């Protein structure tokens, strides 16, 4: 049984094999880099989509809340107008009382 020393190995065959393996390794690494870049790009696109969707939902919810508040305000306004028309003296007395309270509070 003979042991091969590093000097015994044939360079012509082994160097060619090593070059082929290195080239294959380079190609595999390049393919892996492209895959990682594509996955990162897809993840970024997905996050952008989710952020845009959340923003749109928040805007829609805000618009609905504003519409609801506007409708409630209009309803209260109509109720106050109706109250003033049906009981004008009482309404004037209430307004005077509120004004008096504000005057007292602003003095302090």
The C-alpha atoms of residue 3 and residue 23 are separated, in whole angstroms, by 30
Q: Say what the pLDDT of residue 1 is.
A: 45
Q: Say what the pLDDT of residue 43 is.
A: 83
CB crowding 43-82: b at 16 or more within 10 Å, else e: eeeeeeeeeeeeeeeeeeeeeeeeeeeeeeeeeeeeeeee
Tens digit of each residue's pLDDT (9 = 90 or more) over 42-99:
888 888 899 999 999 999 999 999 999 999 999 999 999 999 999 999 989 999 999 9
Domain boundaries, given as residue ranges, for the chain: 14-107
Q: How confident is the model at residue 18 (pLDDT cuts 50, 70, 90)?
A: confident
């Amino acid at each position: 049984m003979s042991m091969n020393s590093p000097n015994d190995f044939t360079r012509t065959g082994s160097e060619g094999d090593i070059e082929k393996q290195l080239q294959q390794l380079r190609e595999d690494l390049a393919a892996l880099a492209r895959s990682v870049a594509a996955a990162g790009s897809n993840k970024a696109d997905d996050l952008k989509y989710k952020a845009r969707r959340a923003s749109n939902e928040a805007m829609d919810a805000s618009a609905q809340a504003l519409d609801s508040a506007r409708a409630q305000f209009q309803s209260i306004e109509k109720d106050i107008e109706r109250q003033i028309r049906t009981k004008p003296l009482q309404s004037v007395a209430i307004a005077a009382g509120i004004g008096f309270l504000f005057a007292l509070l602003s003095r302090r």
